[in-house]
Amino acid sequence: MTGGKNPAMRNATGHETADLAAFASKLRFDDIPAPVISRAVELFVDWAGSTLSGTQARAIKILEGLAQAMGPSDGGAEILTARRMSSPFFAALVNAGASHISEQDDVHNGSVFHPAAVVFPPALATAQHVGASGREFLAASVAGYEAGIRIGEFLGRSHYRIFHTTGTAGTLAAAAATGRLLGLSPDAMPHAFGSAGTQAAGLWEFLRDAADSKQLHTAKAAADGLTAAFLARDGFTGAKRILEGAQGMAAGMSEDADPAKLTDRLGSRWALTETSFKFHASCRHTHPAADALLSVLVENDLSPGEIDRVTAHVHQAAIDVLGPVTNPSTVHQAKFSMPATLGLIAAHRRAGMADFDSFFGDETARSFLNRVDMRLDPEVDAAYPARWIGKVSVWTKDGREFRGRVDEPKGDPGNTLSRAEIDEKARRLVAYGKSVRDSEVDGLMAKLWSIADAQKIGRLL
């Protein structure tokens, strides 16, 4: 293999796509350690809450309308937000879009990748379609996480500057999960990867316009990865070296791709367990600074009126993603604004769904749009993406200066949510979506938590 503008690619063997695809194909439930399965269930519960929280969102209603107009009126897969059945393609499409709109879905730090939004929707849709068991569903989901995270790590920081990794790596993660449920052989799975990779897309430019593209990224990643796997099942071929090939994803989408990361300790390092839960309802790049500011407020009993200005000391990717949002005009765009998020933290000591919904009428929080800035911090940037350190400097109107630091934001593996907190978060998000009656919530939560025991995955609602 040639390295082109990236010398590291000269070390590619040419077998990376095949090796990763074979791992996904051959992974069995009994091969997966019990703690990994337990965490997969927790992530699934968390994902379901995020998905149902998006029920009332305008962008999701539009996706549902597309599914109703162009898909079947019935089928074997469930669109959770619409509470109706459709084809696996449209169920995956709508559920994936819905699970990414509230900014409450999970994230893997090292790959800067949101696995749940692109793995669980196609896995659930396919499992319902083929009548798979809960164990098969979870094994496929783990395969999707392990493949997608490694592909995100492989594509590197240069990729993330322009491309939304969840939309790109997520397409192959969806193919891995779907292909595993369809029983694709180690020879067929690379074809699914190839067809997925050639469709992979997702550009950050939408942030400047407050556009709906972020939901389209996850929707299409899930649906296109599912499509690639179904096609491969029937003999449709794809590029066998879509990741490391001379005109593959690394060649076109990265300047620092590292092929060794694609097969890093497959079967012994379970990257799924490195995944973080989101605590605040905003872009993950805001969370470290939000937690650091919260620590300053609590420790020094500061009110928002006492604060003159705040500086968030951040990694470069935070500036790349959040920097374009200089004057948020929608609730979703506010979730990609460091000043808006820190304004809510200062005003309410939280940044939840309802807080963002009321942001534009919240004069106290809005006043921080002109009181917060971001500065590149060498220590924070050097630690990223393996560690997302939060550092803030806070100056008060009477001349005092405070500094806050958080080494593991709330939700990270070393500062994770308990099962009780995950359950409470999911219930809160379900209630926010208003599509599940109060009398149904306990039954839904019981189904989610016991998914491993399901003999056949049926409707959740």
* Spatial separation of the C-alpha atoms in residues 191 and 139, rounded to whole Å: 20
**81 close to 435: Cβ distance less than 8 angstroms:** yes
The mean predicted confidence, pLDDT, of the chain is 96
pLDDT in tens, 179-200: 999 999 999 999 999 999 999 9
Residue 1 has pLDDT above 60, yes or no: no
Q: How far is CA 43 from CA 31, 213, 275, 425, in A?
A: 19, 24, 9, 12
Mean pLDDT of 339-361: 97
pLDDT at 2: 42
How far apart are the C-alpha atoms of 271 and 460, rounded to whole Å?
Answer: 27
pLDDT at 127: 98
**Average pLDDT over every residue of 357-370:** 97
CATH of 7-276, one of 3.40.50.300, 1.10.10.10, 1.10.240.10, 1.10.4100.10: 1.10.4100.10
> How many CB atoms sit inside 10 A of residue 351's CB?
28
For 83, 86, 143, the CA distances from 233, given in Å and listed in that order, are: 29, 21, 17
174 Cβ contact list (under 8 Å, min separation 6): 92, 118, 119, 121, 122, 144, 148, 196, 221, 222, 223, 224, 225, 226, 228, 229
Share of the chain above pLDDT 70, in %: 99
Complete DSSP assignment for 13-25 = -S-HHHHHHHHHH
3-state secondary structure of 309: strand
Rounded Cα distance between 130 and 142, Å, is 18
Question: In the prediction, which pLDDT does 10 show?
Answer: 86
Percentages (nearest 5) of helix, strand, coil residues in the chain = 60, 10, 35
pTM above 0.75, yes or no: yes
According to the model, what pLDDT value does residue 4 have?
Answer: 52
Three-class SS of residue 189? helix
Q: What is the pLDDT of residues 187-241, one digit of tens each?
A: 999 999 999 999 999 999 999 999 999 999 999 999 999 999 999 999 999 999 9
Q: Please say whether the beta carbons of 433 and 33 come within 8 A.
A: no
pLDDT in tens, 2-11: 445 687 798 8
- Distance (Å, whole) CA 85 – CA 459: 9
The predicted structure's pLDDT at residue 11:
86
pLDDT computed for residue 146 by the predictor: 98
- Average pLDDT for residues 370-392, to the nearest whole number? 97
Q: Which two tokens stand for residue 71?
A: 């898909």
State which H helix or E strand residue 126 sits in. Answer: helix 116-130
Which spans in 349-454 are helix H? 353-357, 363-366, 378-383, 419-433, 438-449
For 314-376, the DSSP string reads E-HHHHHHHTT-SS--SHHHHTT-HHHHHHHHHHHS---HHHHHTGGG-HHHHGGGGTEEEEE
Residues with Cβ within 8 Å of 38's Cβ and at least 6 positions away in sequence, in order, are none
What's the pLDDT tens digit per position in 66-83? 999 999 988 999 999 999
- Joined tokens for residue 441: 């919530």
Model confidence pLDDT, tens digit, residues 399-440: 999 999 999 999 999 999 999 999 999 999 999 999 999 999
Residue 364 has what pLDDT? 97
For 14-64, the pLDDT digits (tens) are 999 999 999 999 999 999 999 999 999 999 999 999 999 999 999 999 999
Contact in structure between 243 and 128 (CB atoms under 8 Å): no
What is the percent of the chain with per-residue pLDDT over 90, rounded to a whole number?
97
Give the separation between CA 338 and CA 346, rounded to whole angstroms: 12
pLDDT tens-digit readout, 120-133? 999 999 999 999 99
Distance, in Å, from the CA atom of 420 to the CA atom of 415, rounded to the nearest integer, reads: 14
Question: Spelled out in words, what is the top-level CATH class assigned to the domain 284-410?
Answer: alpha beta
| Across 361-390, average pLDDT | 97
Query: Burial, 299: exposed, middle or buried (Cβ in 10 Å; 0-12, 13-18, 19+)?
Result: exposed
**What is the domain partition of the chain in residue ranges?**
7-276, 284-410
Q: Note the pLDDT tens digit of each residue in 81-106.
A: 999 999 999 999 999 999 999 999 99
Q: Please, what is the Cα angle at 452 between 448 and 454, to 5 degrees?
A: 85
